[in-house]
Amino acid sequence: MKRMHIHIAVKGLEESVAFYSEMFGSEPTVHKADYAKWQLEDPKVNFAISARGATEGLNHLGIQVDAAEGLVEMKTRLDQLQTDLVEEEGAACCYAKSDKYWVNDPSGIPWETFHTLDSIPVFNEASDEVAASACCTPASMSSVATVSISSIPTKNKCCS
């Protein structure tokens, strides 16, 4: 099984937790002072938010797999993209330890494909405030243009 993963950097964590808890009809499955995650079954999505100094808006998208075999399958697909691929084995990120692969889509949006191995008690397992300041997108993915919340139009202009 695969699960869609979305991570958004937010300004006010508790206000956002209240908003998304109401929208999803569910409290977060992980809730820390700077991070929250909903592991939803309907819709099947791993939705995370964090307030760690990153630009507000879309941080990254991803596919979470539930077994190592699923990660091997996804890596085979990613290899076919013929783009730069970043591999992280046993990476500490967002209160979890995972094996993962990162690629940027043609627009520069980072995509994370990962298999979670275990939870960890400290964000990124970093004791240094600088190292633990933002989410776990690798530095080589930094060419990404984050979708800022302020760039979203206030009036619906879809398909006009």
38-86 pLDDT, tens digit per residue, is: 999 988 999 999 998 778 999 889 999 999 999 999 999 999 988 899 9
C-alpha dihedral (40, 105, 80, 103), degrees to nearest 10: -70
What's the pTM value of the predicted model, to 2 decimals? 0.71
Tell me the C-alpha distance between 55 and 122, whole Å: 22
pLDDT of residue 127: 44
Which residues in 47-74 are b (16+ Cβ under 10 Å) and which e?
bbbbbbebebbbbbebbbbeeeebbeeb
Q: What is the pLDDT of residue 157?
A: 45
Write down the residue that tokens 């690629």 correspond to: 103
Stronger pLDDT, 149 or 86, i.e. the higher one: 86
How much is the pLDDT for 142?
53
d(CA 140, CA 92): 17
* pLDDT per position as a tens digit, 3-45: 999 999 998 999 999 988 997 889 999 999 999 999 999 889 9
CB-based contact 123:94 (threshold 8 Å): yes
Q: Going edge to edge, which strands form the sheet with 44-50?
A: 30-31, 35-41, 44-50, 2-9, 57-65, 110-119, 96-104, 86-93
| pLDDT score for 55 | 86
Domains belonging to the chain, first-starting first, are 2-151 (3.10.180.10)
- Rounded to an integer, the average pLDDT of 91-117 is 89
